[in-house]
Amino acid sequence: MIFCILFLVDLANPKVFSVNLRNFDAEKYQVAYQMTKNPNFTRGEVDFYVNYGLFIRSANGFVSSFYPNTVFISSTVARSADFDIVIAHELGHIQHMHFSRSSDKKLEEAQAEADSFAAKIVGKDRVLARRRSQGYSEDSYLIRNLKK
Ligand SMILES: [Zn+2]
């Protein structure tokens, strides 16, 4: 029961269980901030939060239509070497406005588009390596999209 309530609070207001990336790791915040200045990203200022909630345990990072221009990443990702890949991928979702109500993209298509965006920022090889490490096969839509 407590778990359910926490999960709902988490879903409703992820910032309750988050710390600003600036306070979590100032150097990593700088890396993320510089990505928002990449010419491929044209959506302006972005806030970054490290989330400790329950919802994010099923995801590495997320963006939500309720929090425009805000990226949430898990604390595991925030400590990992793939940190910048996940940030770049989430910025891809913001760049392509996947969570606006007018977006009718399928999840897989949106994931591929966010990956393509990340590839422009951190390089195709690193995004490919991460997808392979997550178990995606060479025939999968996401890997084929990156190899195009
Ligand atoms: Zn995604």
Going from N- to C-terminal start, the domains of the chain cover 16-147
Q: Does domain 16-147 have CATH number 3.30.2010?
A: yes
pLDDT tens, position by position, 70-99: 999 999 999 999 999 999 999 999 999 987
Q: Name the more confident of 106 and 50.
A: 50
3-state secondary structure the chain: CHHHHHHHHHHHCHHHHEEEHHHHCHHHHHHHHHHHCCCCCCCCCCEEEEECCCHHHHCCEEEECCEEEEEEEEHHHHHCCCHHHHHHHHHHHHHCCCCCCCCCCCHHHHHHHHHHHHHHHHCHHHHHHHHHHCCCCCCCHHHHHHHC
CA 116 to ligand 1 centroid distance, Å: 11
Q: Is the pLDDT of residue 115 over 80?
A: yes
Question: What's the 108 CA to ligand 1 centre distance in angstroms?
Answer: 9
**How far is ligand 1, taken at its centre, from the CA of residue 59, in Å?**
9
How close is the Cα of 89 to the center of ligand 1, in Å?
6
pLDDT number for residue 60: 87
Identify the pLDDT of residue 1: 64
Distance from the alpha carbon of residue 85 to the mean position of ligand 1, in angstroms: 11
**Could you tell me the distance, in angstroms and rounded to a whole number, from the CA of residue 134 to the centre of ligand 1?**
13
Query: How much is the CA Rg of the chain, to the nearest whole Å?
Result: 15
Predicted local distance difference test score (pLDDT) of residue 103 = 62
| pLDDT over 70 at 104, yes or no | no
Please tell me the total number of residues recorded for the chain in this structure: 148
Look at the pTM and tell me if it is higher than 0.75.
yes
Instruction: Of 69, 88, 78, 86, give the one whose Cα is nearest residue 18.
Output: 78
Question: Measured in angstroms, how far is the CA atom of residue 90 from the centroid of ligand 1?
Answer: 6
Predicted confidence at residue 98, as pLDDT, reads 87
